[in-house]
Amino acid sequence: MEDLVFAIIVFIFGIMIGSFLNVVIYRIPKGENIAFPASHCQSCLTPLKWYHNIPIFSWLFLKGKCGFCDEKISIQYPIVELITGLIAVALFYKLGLNWQLPIVFIVFSLLFALVMIDFKYMAVPDNLNYLALA
């Protein structure tokens, strides 16, 4: 039972990191800052409310559309969040709750972001390549 509670916590942490990875995947290839401006609709540029940024659930509740302009939101967002959450849980069950878990999860997250950027833009930014090689 204790493992299940930790797995749920790790999954929630994983989908939050997945949400950040979506920002990285979208902004880095365009040369945009990953911290500013705050998340916004890519169509109408309206800043998102806090409840529009809840990983996976916001996409489901908004039915895959912007809460302001009704423009379709890419299915990429919940998929990246879900996969990142599942990777976190798989690593938790494989490695346990120890110092290795965050390090391996960071590496997996970085590689996953690289794969998604390459898949979407057919180009991998040098700064992420150098970070992956370090």
Cα(76)–Cα(117) distance, rounded to whole angstroms?
11
Sign of CA dihedral 23, 42, 117, 36: negative
pLDDT score, position 134: 65
| pLDDT (tens digit per residue) in 49-75 | 999 999 999 999 999 999 999 999 999
What range does the domain containing 89 cover? 2-133
Helices (H), 1-134: 2-27, 57-61, 76-95, 100-121, 126-133
Mean pLDDT of 16-23: 97
CB 79 within 8 A of CB 18: no
Mean pLDDT of the chain: 92
| pLDDT (tens digit per residue) in 83-110 | 999 999 999 999 999 999 999 999 999 9
Number of folded domains that form the chain: 1
C-alpha separations of 123 from 22, 71, 72, 89 in Å: 16, 26, 25, 29
- Report pTM: 0.87
Cα(88)–Cα(74) distance, rounded to whole angstroms?
23
| pLDDT (tens digit per residue) in 70-90 | 999 999 999 999 999 999 999
